[in-house]
Amino acid sequence: MRMSKMLLRTLRDDPADADTAGHALLVRAGFVRRVSSGVYTLLPLGLRVVRRVSDIIREELDAAGMQELLMPALSPIELWEQSGRAAKFGSDALPAMTLEARGGKFVLGVTHEEVATVTVGAEVDSYRQLPVTIYQIQTKFRDEARPRYGLLRGREFLMCDAYSFDADKDSMQVSYDTAKAAYVRIFERLGLPATPVEALSGAIGGDVNHEFMVESAIGEDHFVRCGTCGYAANVERAEVGARPGAARAVETGAYRRVATPGATTIDEVVALLDDAAIDAARTLKSVAAVDESDEPVVILVPGDREAKLPSSWRLFGDKDFAAHPEILRGFLGPVGLDARVVADAAVPAAAHAWVVGANDVDAHLVDVIYGRDFTAAEVGDYVTAREGDPCSRCGAPLEVVRSVEAAHIFQLGLVYSLVMPGATFTAEDGSEQPFWMGCYGFGVSRVLAVLAETFRDDDGLCWPQSSAPYDVHLCALGAGRTPEVSVAAEALYAELVALGVAVCFDDRDVSAGIAFADADLLGAPLRVTVGKRGLERGIVEARERRSGDVHEVDLATAAASVAARLTSPLD
């Protein structure tokens, strides 16, 4: 493609609304343009990257035996009501978009479990047709409250979502492992170091699931990993190993009530008590939640830790507090509480008394002792993992890694097939059985942003060869003023294209400084320069974008030499 004909305008300064370095470069280099908050146009360069990523995805999923189709982005609300997910539209768990149209109410879906289930259910009626896995690469929609980081968190995005259907649990596990291995290969081909980590299923459902996390300084997610045994999990899912305790505190006297007007947070309580012996770690944080039976439960964790909820639980909302006045927001505590209480293992193991809410406005209790003044119905792992916590597998210290979630896969089991109509097949014994399902999501447009954040330097983007919009950036220096440069560059361009090399041909009449700056900004793996001085010596210059290495290549064999160089990764 000739730059003189390309829909491209490069910018020298970062856009005002760019909040990451990678996103700023995507805008400056003319890959994307903002239409509104969280909504972007992929310009030709950006679309070329997305297509190369999509081609890799298709190659690996096809090789894994999956079949591509295309489901509608628009689906009737009735399908979501049947699955039970329509009720979650008002929560952050499933921020889908809905719209009214002739014929009823519709959903612009975040994912396609419902549509996939009824689609396969209508086509598959016998165990002989299983297993089957379908996938699509399609636009998705998300009602983000606060879109940010460009393509990393937008209202409209491109996603690959796959769905497997099996006859039993063991077969589902095989399909899951097959999809997981395919995703690992995709990330390897993209050059992205993605770590599969255990995670929470959220509104998608199912028990077993993994997120593919890519380390990033601007990531909104965190995962823990153990350098000794390899354990890795999202911090919200990670299991923390046993933390050493100490002998129980000596019971020196009854607890006492202290006035704490307006102190509804741990820090406010500690500041108000103004006692050098009391810090956040000696207070108890009482977190109100709703369990899998829709019953209230209070989780106790040390005040310097964040509570971790089981995947089937949710935090109390305004309606829950209104329905349960005995659970008092801001002054909740375990002493005399008429509700189910569970505690992190650190609570009974502590060698000190606690400060807790008094279940009364503007009051806390001091010198409260576990086992004497309160107990828990269950003791377990209820804290969010943090740096240095012991690994639950081997006891070694955990490392916390900031990251971006680039893909998420789930073993759904029977979550959808038990509630969606027609999601059954005839088993070998003649009985009617539900499908065992899995689903596998890959953020295609998000990966464009992840690649830009990962592969860049001070001068611009540095695309891996596998995802670069063009393999070669061909510069013809002074072509408009030097006919021999123009003739040689045109011939080289034609030869490269004939050899199947994707070339961005800078045929503009601009200075070398502008041409090279744009080449660095756009980030093709190899820059080939045709200039007057080089032609006098019968050579062209080839410069590797990421390493900066420069090679002189004979003009007569330049096309073949460049094509051969591209067969070996430059990154």
Tens of pLDDT, residue by residue over 130-141, are 999 999 999 999
Average pLDDT over residues 3-9: 96
CATH number at residue 544: 3.40.50.800
Domain of 342, CATH number, reads: 3.90.960.10
Looking at the structure, tell me whether residues 47 and 83 fall in a common domain: yes
Q: Is residue 387 part of a domain?
A: no
Note whether 225 and 323 are same-domain residues.
no
What is the Cα–Cα distance from 190 to 56, expressed in whole angstroms? 8
Please give the pLDDT value at position 146: 86
- 94-116 pLDDT tens trace: 778 889 988 899 999 889 999 99
Do 352 and 420 fall within a single domain? no
Q: How many helices and strands, by DSSP H and E, does the chain display?
A: 13, 31
Contact criterion met (CB below 8 Å) for 139 and 168: no
Dist CA 19 CA 458 (whole Å): 16
Task: Summarize the confidence of residues 564-571 as an average pLDDT.
Answer: 74
Q: What is the mean pLDDT of the chain?
A: 93
User: φ, ψ for residue 13 (rounded to 5)?
Assistant: -115, 155
In the chain, the percentage of residues whose pLDDT exceeds 90 is 83
In a domain, 571, yes or no: no
Same domain, 104 and 220: yes
Asked if the structure places residue 458 within a domain, the reply is: no
pLDDT tens-digit series, residues 398-455: 999 999 999 999 999 999 999 999 999 999 999 999 999 999 999 999 999 999 999 9
Domain match, 282 and 184 both: no
Q: Are residues 233 and 260 located together in one domain of the fold? A: no
Is pLDDT of 247 > 50?
no
CATH number (domain holding residue 113): 3.30.930.10
Do 557 and 437 fall into the same domain?
no
- Residue 147: CB partners within 8 Å, gap ≥ 6? 37, 38, 153, 154, 155
Tell whether 358 and 408 lie within a shared domain: no
Domain range enclosing 529: 470-566
- The Cα–Cα gap between 122 and 396 comes to 50
pTM of the model: 0.89
Residues 207 and 285 placed together within one structural domain of the fold: no
- For 74, 122, 167, 295, 434, the CA distances from 127, given in Å and listed in that order, are 30, 14, 6, 39, 11
Q: Are residues 406 and 376 in the same domain?
A: no
Contact 424, 432 (CB under 8 A): yes
Q: Which two tokens stand for residue 550?
A: 């420069």
301 and 335 assigned to the same domain: yes
Q: How far apart are the first and last CA of the chain?
A: 23
Number of domains in the chain: 3
For residue 207, the model assigns a pLDDT of: 75
Which of left, alpha, beta for 253 (phi over 0: left; psi -120 to 50: alpha)? left
Q: Could you tell me if 346 and 411 lie in one domain? A: no
